[in-house]
Chains A and B, each alone.
Chain A
Amino acid sequence: MAKRIDVSGLSAYYGSTKAIEDISMAIEPRSVTAFIGPSGCGKSTFLRTLNRMHEVIPGARVEGKVLLDDENLYGTSVDPVAVRRSVGMVFQRPNPFPTMSIYDNVIAGLKLSGVRKKSVLDDKVEKSLQGANLWNEVKDRLNKPGAGLSGGQQQRLCIARAIAVEPQVLLMDEPCSALDPISTLAIEDLIGELKTQFTIVIVTHNMQQAARVSDRTAFFNLAGVGQPGKLIELDDTQRIFSNPSVQATEDYISGRFG
C-alpha cells in the first residue's frame, strides 16, 4: 500500500482547449498533499489525471507521465480500469449508489474485483466502515439505503467504499465542500488517520483546511481566463502558509486576489 507518485511534464486537454500545462511534481507516500488555487486553475483536472478519470470525458486527453512508484500510469499497455482500482477517488458531492444498501455500497468495488465470499465481504465492510469512522453509526442498519444517511455520513460511506478495495492512493476532490462544519471536521480527522496507510491527495478551496490537514501544499494558478493552469509552487504546508517563495502564492493565501 501507499505508493509514491512522480508526475513529469503533464498537460491535459478538453478537446482543443489546454486545461493544465507542463506540471511536474512528486507526491510522497503516507502523507497528505493539498492542491489549492483559484477556480478554473486546473487542480481538479490535474487530480483526475492521477487515476485516469480525466479521459472519461469525451474529447479529453493527457500528455506526459505519471509514475506510481515505477510504473507509468499512461504506459501503452496500462489498462485505465486497473489504474482506477489502485488509485481510489472521493468526489465533491457525496455519491453513494442510491439503488444500494449501505452494505452493498461498501462492497461495490470488491464485487467488481470478483470477491464473492460472504465472510470476507462481512469482514471488509466492518473494517472499511471503521476505517471511515462510520461503523458505530450504521452497524445496526447496514441493509438500509445508503442515500438515507446524512450528507457527512454519505461522504464517509464513499470514503469507506473507496478504501475497501485497499488502493495505493486516495484522491479527494473537495470532499467537504458540500458538508457542514461538523461533518467537515469529522472528515478532516479521518484524513489524519488515513494518511498512515494511504498516499492522500486533496483538492480544497478552503485554505484553513489545507493548512489543517496537509503535510505538503501545491499552489496552482492561471495567467488569465482561457489560459491553461500551471503549478506555481509545491512546498511544506507550513512554509507555503508562512513564507512562500513565490509572490503569487503569498498574494493568494493572504487574500489579495483570487
Chain B
Amino acid sequence: MTSNTPAAPPGGERRRRDSRVGDKIFMNLSRGSGILLLVVMAAIAGFLTWRSGIALSKNEGNFFTTFEWTPDAPKPVFGIAVLVFGTIVSATIAMVIAVPVAIGIALFISHYAPRRIAQPFAYLVDLLAAVPSIIYGLWGALFLVPHLEGLTSWMDDYLGWTYIFDQSRATTPRNLFTVGILLAIMVLPIITAVSREIFRQVPRMHEEAALALGATRWEMIRTAVLPFGRPGIISASMLGLGRALGETIAVAIVLSSSSVLSLHVLDPGGGTFAQNIALKFSEAQPFGRDALMASGLVLFVITLLVNGAARLIVARRKEYSGANA
C-alpha cells in the first residue's frame, strides 16, 4: 500500500494536464469553427461584390428600375425591379399563410392533441420538411396549378374589387399567388417544428398560474404560452422566410416567368431572384453571369436586412423574455 502511494500524485497530475490539453483542443476547435463561418460569409460577400461591380459598371439601364434582363445583348441592360417585387410578394403571401397555420399545428401538437396522436403527428410534419423541393415543384405544377383555377377565378369574381386579386384575363394560375401558396407549404414544417419545441418549453408553473386564475385552455395559451414563445416564433418565421426567399427550383417550375411587374398577383408572370438565376445561369455568357451575381448580392442583402429587423424586434423586449424567471 505505502509503496503505491507516491505513484498516485503524478498519475493525477498527468490526468489533469491531459484534460487541460483536451480543453485547449476543444477551445481551438470551436473557435476555429466560429472563425471559419466568418471567413465563409466574408468570402461570399466579397465574391458577390466583386463580380457585381464588374457587371454594374457596364449596365446601360438602371439596375433598380429596369424590368428587362438582357445582360448579354450588345447593349447590356438588366434590372431587378421585377425580381424584388416577385420575391417579396411571393414570400409575403407564403408567410401570411404559413405562420398562423404553423402556430396552430404547433399548439395542437404541444397542447391539444393526446400524446399518442401528437408524437406521430409531429413526426409527419418533420417528414414534410425532408421532401426535396423538386418534388414540391412538380406537385405544384402538375396538381396545384390546375386545382387552383377554381379558387383564382372565384377570387377574381368576389375579391376583384381589391385590385390585387383582379385577374386581367382567365388563364392557368402560374402566378405569384400560386407560388406563394406552394412556398407556404414548403416553409410550414420548419416553422411548425421550431415553434413546437418552444411551446413545449413553456414552464408548467406559468401555465398553472394562468389556469389557477380561471383561464380556459385558449386563454391560458394566450396569457402564458404565446407571449413566452414570441421570440421563438419570430426566429422560426425567419428560418421559414429564408427558405421562401431563396427557393429556386419549385418557383422556376410553377411560375411562367416574364419581365412583368403587376400588382395583380393572380396574373401570370413576374419572377424571383432565385428563379431568375436558375433559369438564366446555364445559357448566360460570362458577363451575364456577373449580372446574375449582382442580383444574388441584392437577395443576400435583403435576407440580412430582414434577419436584422427580426433580431431588433426580439431584443427590444428582452427583459420580458422570461429568461430571467
Contact = CB atoms under 8 A, between A and B. Distances in A.
Interface of A: 51, 53, 56, 58, 81-85, 88-89, 91, 93, 95-101, 108-109, 112-113, 144-145, 147-148, 158, 161-162, 165
B130 interface: no
Contacts of A93: 205
Nearest to A86: B214
B205 A91 contact: yes
A56 B303 CA distance: 43
B319 interface: yes
Contacts of B322: 98-99, 147
Interface residues of B, number: 27
Give me the 6 closest cross-chain CB pairs, A-B, nearest first: A85-B214, A98-B322, A99-B227, A98-B325, A109-B213, A89-B212
A101 B209 CA distance: 15
Given A89-B212, A109-B214, A165-B213, A95 B319 contact: no
- Looking at chain A's contact residues, the main secondary structure is mixed
Contacts of A147: 320, 322, 324-325
Contact of A98 (B115, B210, B215, B228): B228
Contact of A165 (B208, B214, B216, B325): B214
A56 B208 CA distance: 9
A66 to B, nearest CB: 16
Contacts of B323: 98
B243 interface: no
Contacts of A81: 214-216
A102 B251 CA distance: 48
Interface in B206-243: 206, 208-216, 219, 223-224, 227-228, 230
B24 to A, nearest CB: 38
A180 to B, nearest CB: 18
Interface in B299-325: 317, 319-325
A148 B320 CA distance: 9
A162 B214 CA distance: 10
A100 B214 contact: no
A224 B227 CA distance: 43
A217 to B, nearest CB: 24
Contact of A97 (B209, B216, B219): B209
Contacts of A148: 319, 324
Contact of A108 (B203, B205, B223, B325): B223
Contact of A85 (B115, B213, B319): B213
A51 B212 contact: yes
Contacts of A51: 212
Nearest to B227: A99
Interface in B49-79: none
A84 B214 contact: yes
A165 B209 CA distance: 14
A96 B213 CA distance: 12
B230 A95 contact: no
A84 B212 contact: yes
Contacts of B206: 95, 97-98
B5 to A, nearest CB: 44
Contacts of A101: 320
